[in-house]
């Protein structure tokens, strides 16, 4: 069975979460973890499970303007924020518009500030809605968020939590032996 984890990331946090989810899924699946730019139709078509994640920008999915702001902030951060190779885009919002037909089951995640979701918004809600609109079956009760500090660094426990989320997702989709 194959799983495809597709991520968007400006500062590398969503990238790191995607890799950790991939490690958890790898206990059951053959896993590819790729930025949107490399999420080619062939990979999507071959996947049994599609996991999509993005940073929360302006309460939802990024747009080119919010990605430009993020890049400007990195430039002003004195080196504490560096741009991920995926920062040049494209973003998940545009990619989902052109998602090829797939039989894959799906799950969504995001990264967002460590504060109540009602205040921060959640990119993953928009991802889940779009995946559903394109006919994919969502296999988690709710999309998952992984949290960053106000300085845009992943909270320390979140990598391990992402790995465990991936592991549980995989085992929930595997028939008991
Ligand atoms: C332009 C911009 C807008 C943001 N808006 C929000 C927001 O509305 N809610 C939130 O929780 N975090 C917001 N953030 C923080 C991002 O969620 C955080 O930078 C992101 O999770 C880091 O992931 P990345 O390293 O993969 O880019 C914003 C960040 C930027 C740069």
Cβ(23) – ligand 1 distance below 6 Å: no
The two structure tokens encoding residue 147: 């949290």
* pLDDT tens figures, 26-64: 999 999 999 999 999 999 999 999 999 999 999 999 999
CA–CA distance, 59 with 125 (Å, rounded to integer): 10
Q: Is 110 exposed, middle or buried (0-12, 13-18, 19+ CB in 10 A)?
A: buried
Q: Where are the alpha helices (DSSP H) in 56-120?
A: 64-76, 92-97, 117-120
Helix (H, G, I), strand (E, B) or coil at 18: helix
* pLDDT tens figures, 128-175: 999 999 999 999 989 999 999 999 999 999 999 999 999 999 999 987
- The class level of CATH for 2-172 reads alpha beta
- The complex's ipTM works out to 0.99
Nearest CA to ligand 1 atom 28: 57
Q: How far is the CA of 51 from the centre of ligand 1 (A)?
A: 19
Q: Where are the alpha helices (DSSP H) in 33-150?
A: 41-46, 64-76, 92-97, 117-120, 123-133
């Amino acid at each position: 069975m194959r799983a495809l984890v597709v991520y968007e990331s400006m500062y590398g946090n969503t990238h790191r979460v995607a890799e950790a989810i991939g490690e958890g899924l790898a206990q059951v699946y053959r896993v590819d973890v790729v930025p949107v730019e490399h999420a080619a139709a062939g990979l999507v078509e071959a996947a049994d499970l599609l996991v999509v994640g993005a940073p929360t920008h302006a309460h939802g999915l990024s747009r080119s303007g919010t990605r430009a702001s993020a890049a400007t902030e990195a430039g002003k951060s004195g080196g504490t924020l560096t741009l991920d190779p995926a920062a040049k885009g494209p973003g998940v919002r545009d990619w989902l518009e052109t998602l090829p037909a797939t039989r894959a089951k799906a799950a969504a995640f995001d990264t967002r500030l460590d504060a109540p979701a009602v205040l921060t918004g959640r990119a993953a809600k928009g991802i889940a809605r779009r995946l559903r609109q394109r006919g994919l079956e969502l296999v988690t009760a709710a999309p998952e968020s992984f949290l960053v500090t106000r300085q845009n660094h992943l909270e320390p426990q979140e990598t391990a939590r992402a790995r465990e989320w991936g592991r549980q997702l995989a085992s929930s989709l595997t028939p008991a032996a």
